[in-house]
Amino acid sequence: MSADIAVVGGGVVGSAIAWRLAQAGAAVTVYDDTAAGRASTVAAGMLAPASEAQLDNPHLLRLSIAAARRWPQFAADLADQAEQTDPDDHIGYRACGTLLVAMSAADQADIDRYRDLYQREGIEIQRWDGERCRTVEPLLSHRVNAGLFAPGDHQVDPRRTLAALIRAGAAAGVRRVAEPVTNLSELKAGRVVLAAGTWSGRLAEFPIRPVHGQVLRLHAPAGDANHIGRSIRAVNRGRSVYLVPRSNGEVVVGASSHELGFDTAARVGDTVTLLRDAVDVVPELTEYRLIETNVGLRPGTPDNAPLLGPIGDGRVVVATGHFRNGILLAPITADLITRYLTTGAEPVELRTFNAERFA
């Protein structure tokens, strides 16, 4: 193993890789030049191989399903590191499932199409009528007329996860420096892991583009015990909106999707659309406080699947392009990259998702 590894990018993916590498005995330095629009601190934290699935890419779907299975152990390992017994108290990992609801007959046709695709891919899904949806989630609008429950789609709080990864990394010996990297060849380390999200494209030649995603953070009024119990994704007039409720009363509402370069300004129209859709689905949200409006830049690739594995002469190993699923894919990415750098054996996933597929 190369004793000395530089990880460029200190979001959830880079920090998870650094932690796992340090646990495996490597000397790791993370270069973390925090930029506005970092996806890790904006993301809602859906761990949702079904409801966030890209159903036209079977390789990615399989990777996402395997990634979701890895999360309970990853959450437990991080909790152990902090001598916590409950990953919910620690990083907000909640095995709550996700309810996908349709707001009209036309929207129902949309979710039924998903149901067929999920079933074909062997993803567990339950069809509920509107009444069952409201019995389980009493705050749902009376307009909800059908739902699909994905029992394997969970959530985590990405901000708490990142903080825990930084602490766990430090305890394992990771050095973290707040220095910008403008040229990978200037780094002294024997191996370099490029995990700088959408900014990775400024440091190596491959196709990656920023995809603007605006989310809102709402908070339940003080003392309000009625809260949404699980993640909800709704199709409302053909548009998709998701609500990710934390156990502390926060709800993350997302998300827009635009290609605007590196612009990280929030857009009024997106705020209006997100709030209108969210309140249509859960009318009670009008009573909530609007706490934050943020934009994250998702790292998109031509097929919106990640870029993983060695490039060029192999000194640089890429771990980026996770698009809408960086939080879900972080643990599996960390394990694959660590296995490769510590054993030299290239897992099949690194060949499938190698950046050279676009050469």
Task: Candidates 87, 152, 213, 245: give the one binding ligand GLY (CB under 6 A).
Answer: 213
Residue 8: CB minimum distance to ligand GLY, A: 22
Gyration radius (Cα) of the chain, Å: 20
Question: Taking CB under 6 A as the rule, does residue 246 contact ligand GLY?
Answer: no
Question: Taking CB under 6 A as the rule, does residue 298 contact ligand GLY?
Answer: yes
Distance CA 273, CA 253 (A): 11
Question: Taking CB under 6 A as the rule, does residue 324 contact ligand GLY?
Answer: yes
What residues contact residue 352 under an 8 Å CB cut-off, 6+ apart?
Answer: 59, 63
Chain residues 254-293 in contact with ligand GLY, contact rule CB under 6 A: 254-255
In this complex, which beta carbon is closest to ligand GLY, that of residue 7 or of residue 44? 44
Question: Taking CB under 6 A as the rule, does residue 160 contact ligand GLY?
Answer: no
Question: Taking CB under 6 A as the rule, does residue 46 contact ligand GLY?
Answer: yes
Distance CA 294, CA 159 (A): 13
Report DSSP state, residue 238.
Answer: T
Task: Candidates 6, 40, 52, 270: give the one binding ligand GLY (CB under 6 A).
Answer: 52
Residue 328: CB minimum distance to ligand GLY, A: 8
In this complex, which beta carbon is closest to ligand GLY, that of residue 102 or of residue 255? 255
In this complex, which beta carbon is closest to ligand GLY, that of residue 44 or of residue 63? 44
Instruction: Report yes or no: 144 and 102 within 8 Å, Cβ to Cβ.
Output: yes
Question: Taking CB under 6 A as the rule, does residue 300 contact ligand GLY?
Answer: no
In this complex, which beta carbon is closest to ligand GLY, that of residue 47 or of residue 140? 47
| Helix pair 158-172, 12-23: axis angle to 10 deg | 30
Measure the CA angle with vertex 20, ends 314 and 54; round to 5°. 75
E-only strand ranges, 95-135: 98-102, 126-129
Measured CA distances, 118 to 115, 133, 150, 153, 160 (Å)? 5, 19, 10, 13, 31
Residue 257: CB minimum distance to ligand GLY, A: 7
Residue 65: CB minimum distance to ligand GLY, A: 16
Instruction: Report yes or no: 158 and 47 within 8 Å, Cβ to Cβ.
Output: no
Would you tell me which residues interact with ligand GLY (CB under 6 A)?
Answer: 44, 46, 52, 213, 254-255, 298, 324
